[in-house]
Structure 1
């Protein structure tokens, strides 16, 4: 039997299907040097271009989405992953459970709440807002369609249940006190998950105020650091973390600042197969590593997921970040 990254027995790798790359000794040494409180991973796992980085052989996106997570979780440094597709439609408890059954016990998931409750607008297929969403920040819907299924399916493998709030309209931004009250009411209506935390990520800097800190503290929720050009750089978001200390760290590194606030399409074109680090951002990595070291060193968990759009290849970004973290 093999052992997972917490030393517990794990099943031997499957001889058929998606196979993990043989573990790299350098990655194994990095993983051994990381605190067990540190859970690094990518925003999802179904990219064929990660052949040779995460798994052997060429596999289609559909195959990887269904059966590639076990191979992903065998990588020494990949101790977490995001479940982003729940943003587009609510996932059933059985879907969360299927993902949870493919990973070792010490693995953690960062799951996004559906846009059904995190977007103030109902949108057309091309993403254009059409009319107000009556279920925006509705606690009953959030509980039924996200928190309860995620808790039932993932259980103790939850790292963070993230409510990523889509950009608000100018009219709503002009009434921020109302939005803060709605968010407060939502969070107070949600139970504490069996593991991990509930966290809030935003896309408008207007949210980043003392009232947000107060309501998160009152509800026992965390601020999710969103590394995205629509928000200030990491250093300017750290005061919120300090104000909420102590507590776990939740980070989602979404998009390199070079592409601007609407740059996902440009990033997709530039990064292609997502198998090269084409736009390294050493300053962000160094600052993030410092925050992770301090948080984990104080005995708090860190749940950090990185998109391919951050530097060009999320697995390579995870490796580079791990190297920054263990530097003395």
Structure 2
């Protein structure tokens, strides 16, 4: 049974945010002084990626509370639990998918894409992976984006499957394999995950990179894609500064 209807029709919109809504003290001046961290974050950004769902479940009421804390145009991307991708490795996960989708549905119309990050060792196996992706798509009509990190995913056959199922492939930096730095799969959704380079999760991006990125994001949105850019270089607080500056560049046109 389909758990979720298509909730985000923001084709042509650029959504920029970070992985989690923590606000580093060094950047606190960029946000309102009052409110919860999420309320303050939502006053500046129009999107966030929930990573905590990867590690542990959240009650539906928690998702509902989060949705009530942000503006109407705000959207949450939600990371699929590692119990599905890393522990069961996509096998026999119908019960886990049902639970996760039922919980995340608490976000209502503010639910954006579901992010499925694969472990680096997980090969594309037609009998297992194809079944999982089709099963996931049968349970949700909303946005789905996957982040494979094994070279076997980067083939014409897999690309065709992703297009058929309307599943986008993440553009990641640094790229774990050749081609992973470009978005792929269904091109109605672009999703950039920027982990920091050269030091993953720590390094900030320079002005030249951000300027080039802003042009790419604007171009994707102009082509009609739902366009997401999530900075995951959060370990030392660089993500917030990168996201703010990139958002300003996009808004400036």
The TM-score bracket by the shorter chain reads 0.7 to 0.9
The residue aligned with 2:8 is none
Q: Deviations along 1:12-37, whole A, 9 cap, x unmatched?
A: xxxxxxxxxxxxxxxxxxxxxxx971
Deviation at 1:223, TM superposition (A): 1.2
Change (3 A) 1:102 1:288: same
C-alpha contact 2:114 2:144 (8 A) present in aligned 1 = yes
**Distance across 2 between alignment mates of 1:142 and 1:287:** 39
| Distance 1:299-1:155 versus aligned 2 partners, 3 A rule | same
Give the TM-score taking structure 1 as reference length: 0.64
Structure 2 SS opposite 1:52: helix
Tell me whether 1:71 sits opposite 2:25 in the alignment. no
Is 2:215 the counterpart of 1:316?
Answer: no
Which residue number in structure 2 is paired with residue 228 of structure 1?
174
Aligned partners of 2:154 and 2:12: how far apart in 1?
A: 30
Deviations 1:105-135 (A, max 9, x none): 110111101100111xxxxxxxxxxxxx445
**1:73: how far off?**
0.7
5+ residue gaps in structure 1? 1-34, 58-63, 120-132, 268-277
Q: For structure 2, which runs of at least 5 residues remain unmatched after alignment?
A: 1-10
Distance in 2 between residues matched to 1:38 and 1:323, nearest whole Å:
11
* Inter-CA distance 79–111: structure 2 relative to 1 (3 Å threshold): same
- How far the C-alpha of 1:208 sits from its partner, in A, is 2.0
Residue 230 of structure 2 is matched in structure 1 by: 305
SS of residue paired to 1:258: coil
Query: Which residue, out of 162, 166, 185, partners 2:119?
Result: 166
Indicate the SS of the match to 1:98. Answer: helix
Larger Rg: 1
- Check if 1:136 corresponds to 2:77: no
Does structure 1 residue 56 correspond to structure 2 residue 25? no
Deviation per CA, 1:119-168, whole angstroms, max 9, x where unpaired? 1xxxxxxxxxxxxx445354403422322321x21121122100111221
- What is the alpha-carbon distance in structure 1 between the residues aligned to residue 117 and residue 129 of structure 2? 12
